[in-house]
Amino acid sequence: MEFSAIQIAELLQGTVEGDSSASVSKLAKIQEGVEGSLTFLANPQYTSFIYSTGASIAIVGEDFNAEQDLPSTLTLVRVADPRAAFAQLLHIYGEMTKPAPGIHPSAVIDESATIGEGVHIGPNVNIGARSVIGTGTIVGAGCTVERDVVVGSSCLFHAGVMVLHSTIIGDHCTIHSGTVLGSDGFGFAPTDQNNYEKVPQIGNVILEDKVEIGSNCSIDRATLGSTIIRAGVKLDNLIQIAHNVEIGENTVIAAQTGIAGSTKLGKNCMIGGQVGIIGHIEIADEVKIAAQSGIGHSIPEKGTIVQGSPAFGIGDYKKSYVGFRNLPKLMRQISELEKKIKNIEKGPKA
């Protein structure tokens, strides 16, 4: 799919400087630009590359001033905000490349399921009894949507997503490959035979609107009630959310984080990668947790920033870390002082 410089400028409400008929059919980083590619310059750190890029069109700011000659093959599209404009183009491109509505002949759909208008259902998809797929939703190849699932409109399931029974998904949600929604919660009761008996997990998972979940995540259904992911939450790849967890609106969580059962996270939190959070605690709104931290207690104060395992206030953590790095030096000094004290206690030699 090709776009000309003038078409791009019209889409982005920008202006063309150079050949308005120059065309592109692919995207590239500015340092990797080749003929027929579109790039952008937003970070001044990369300005030097614009003088050597092989790209045909570059999106730049309205205030960009070339300090030397640009390549003769390069056309500029000037916009108010190059980064936002490029993101807008990516979104438009994504919309244009969506698969066409239709149901692949290899899909297996229960006769009691409801399929909305404009839905795309790919090869080898299985949709169970009484499930509902909303208008304009895309269900990629090999996905399974079990019985009594409700999926809203304009959702995107990448290939190989598993949505287990009774899950409820809002509008405009994106689920990436390998993710499982509604798997059993980790519930076992010890018995007098010194083993464990499984506790049935009869709840469900609820995703509100505009949630995005990365690949290979697992979100467990509740023991009773619901595991709830509120509107606007963004989860990275490889995340475990246990039964009855609730994650507040617009919270973002990086890869390899695990949250144990019945914990409640507030809205607008930011959780770094490889964070471990124990169960049955509450974390306030706007809390930030640094990567690899271990959270073993509730964080009641809004906007708190913590780090470490066990985690505590980031200011105290940084001060403590300075001491920790100096620990070998301090130990040597203590050892030397101990030797001096022993020599003093022995008294002067006869």
53-75: per-residue pLDDT in tens? 999 999 999 999 999 999 999 99
According to CATH, where is 3.40.1390.10 located in the chain?
Answer: 3-96
CB 239 within 8 A of CB 255: yes
pLDDT classification of 313: cutoffs 50, 70, 90: confident
Cα 308 to Cα 81, 98, 258, 298, 303, distances in angstroms: 37, 43, 15, 15, 17
> Alpha-carbon Rg of the chain, whole angstroms?
28
- Provide the residue type at 56 as one letter: S
Q: Which CATH superfamily is domain 104-315 in?
A: Hexapeptide repeat proteins (2.160.10.10)
CB 210 within 8 A of CB 171: yes
Mean pLDDT score, 83-112: 91
Average pLDDT, the chain: 94
pLDDT at 11 over 70: yes
State the angle between helix axes of 314-325 and 327-346 in degrees (0 to 180), rounded to the nearest 10.
50
Residues with catalytic annotation?
243
- Strands 188-190 and 226-229, how do they pair? unpaired
The helix, strand and coil proportions of the chain, stated in percent and rounded to the nearest 5, come to 20, 30, 50
> Pick the residue with more confidence: 222 or 312?
222
According to CATH, where is 2.160.10.10 located in the chain?
Answer: 104-315
Q: What number of other Cβ atoms are within 10 A of residue 96's Cβ?
A: 9
* pLDDT tens digit sequence for 153-168: 999 999 999 999 999 9
Query: E strands, 63-195, where?
Result: 75-79, 102-103, 108-109, 114-115, 120-121, 126-127, 132-133, 138-139, 144-145, 150-151, 156-157, 162-163, 168-169, 174-175, 180-183, 188-190
Range 48-52, long-range pairs (CB < 8 A, 24+ positions): 50/74
In CATH, what is the architecture of 3-96? 3-Layer(aba) Sandwich (3.40)
* Residue 320: CA count within 13 A, CB half-sphere: 12
Indicate the SS3 state at residue 41. Answer: coil
pLDDT classification of 349: cutoffs 50, 70, 90: low
* CA-based nearest residue to 169, from 129, 205, 116, 125: 205
* pLDDT tens digit sequence for 232-288: 999 999 999 999 999 999 999 999 999 999 999 999 999 999 999 999 999 999 999
pLDDT classification of 320: cutoffs 50, 70, 90: confident
The tokens for 22 are: 């120059």
pLDDT at 350 over 60: no
In order, the DSSP letters of 55-100 are -SEEEEETT---SSPPPTT-EEEEES-HHHHHHHHHHHHHHHTSPP
